[in-house]
Amino acid sequence: MSFDLSVFSNKNILLAVTGGIAAYKSAILVRRLKDYGFNVRVVMTHGAQAFITPLTFQALSGNPVHTELLNPEAEAGMGHIELARWADLLLVAPASCDTLAKFAAGLADDLLSTLYLATKAPVWVAPAMNQQMWAAKATQRNLNTLVEDGVHVIMPDAGSQACGDVGLGRMPEPEHLADQVKDYFHQAQRAIAEKFGLLAGKRVTITAGPTREAIDPVRYISNHSTGKMGFAIAAACYSAGAKVTLLAGPVSLDTPNGVKRINVSSALKMLDESMKQLEEGCDIFIATAAVADYRVAEVAEHKIKKAGDELNVALIKNPDIVATIAQQKKRPFMVGFAAETRHVEEYAAGKLVAKKLDMIACNDVSRTDIGFASDQNAMTVFFAEQYQMEKRDLEKASKQEIAQQLIEAIHDALHHEIEPV
């Protein structure tokens, strides 16, 4: 799965580090959170500073480290109340036995315990301590209190401990904690998208990449499509709240997060899967795949051996997938793509009408700065006559940006259709 990490760039993680040998893991945790794009600030208790220095966290987070409740310099900049307001999540890792007790008792005698009471952000604790301290009735009673108060407790791992004991009490690995934070914010954003996104509740099927038409067991006919544009559109549709199925030709791309991927090879298999999606329910069909126009009439059972200077192979026409779907009785909103090398807009406008599409996006693949192998694209979008919408020129930009603009165009068309007279 691939994630668009830019979505986390406006999320603030306040990481609190308390006293314990596991504090060294928190340095790695900061790095992993930063890798995901989060803004990170660190709070350290006095006990934590006995195990690792504030300078380490300042270097890793790129922000000053907060250690004192009553610090004149801190109060002049970001006081404890402002720090509490800044956080989108307060993550305490490691969370010592003492810290859990303070939280449960409602004490506010240092910076961290004050932040705990002052923040409206969700609070997560990752306890780390000796196995007997973890099992102690008082600790378990404090944990139960915190859970009742809405604190999310990340269970410790079992294993060898610094003191020589073996049992529960090890702080989970930093990568695991960072993944939990990432998944939490992703799910929260997904819930918002499913309710308020431009394509909220829509079922979208997208075809992407090339097809391969076999000549014999080792040879095939194909094209230069990389699938990048289709995959970018799939990711954008999912971010816009849609349920997305991606019918992917043979490409080397990671599946966008949250997208259901079905791998296909030939045009006939892509058509078969497209029809299945139509039967299962499809509101929008986006055909970005570069489907081979022809296939070999008779595929050789074994590898064809060289036997002369020429090889004649009979080709027959493949079905037009987007036109076939558009002709169905219960047709979805149809979006076609036209990759041309000349007369781009003229050919695209003709396809829009001939294939009975609702919308078509066209680009000039003869340009070396956009198109198949490039990470950038530029397109012109045409709409069917009944939408009464002018064409849109999408200037050169990343394929992710173009994808977002295409989603906006689809949304606008869906809400702009004029009923036939």
Active site positions, annotated: 163
Is 332 annotated among the ligand-binding residues?
no
How far is 3 from 1, CA to CA, in rounded Å?
7
Is 319 annotated among the ligand-binding residues?
yes
How far is 16 from 48, CA to CA, in rounded Å?
9
Is 355 annotated among the ligand-binding residues?
yes
Is 337 annotated among the ligand-binding residues?
yes
Q: Residue 400: exposed, middle, or buried by beta-carbon count in 10 A (0-12, 13-18, 19+)?
A: buried
247, 253, 259, 264: CA torsion to nearest 10 = 20
Is 88 annotated among the ligand-binding residues?
no
How far is 174 from 143, CA to CA, in rounded Å?
21
Is 42 annotated among the ligand-binding residues?
no
Q: CA of 358: how far to CAs of 5, 9, 179, 240, 245, in Å? A: 32, 35, 40, 20, 20
Is 195 annotated among the ligand-binding residues?
no
Is 321 annotated among the ligand-binding residues?
yes
Q: Residue 156: exposed, middle, or buried by beta-carbon count in 10 A (0-12, 13-18, 19+)?
A: buried
Is 25 annotated among the ligand-binding residues?
no
Q: Could you list the residues known to form a binding site for CTP, using ranges.
A: 293, 303, 319-322, 337, 351, 355
Numbered residues of the known binding site: 293, 303, 319-322, 337, 351, 355
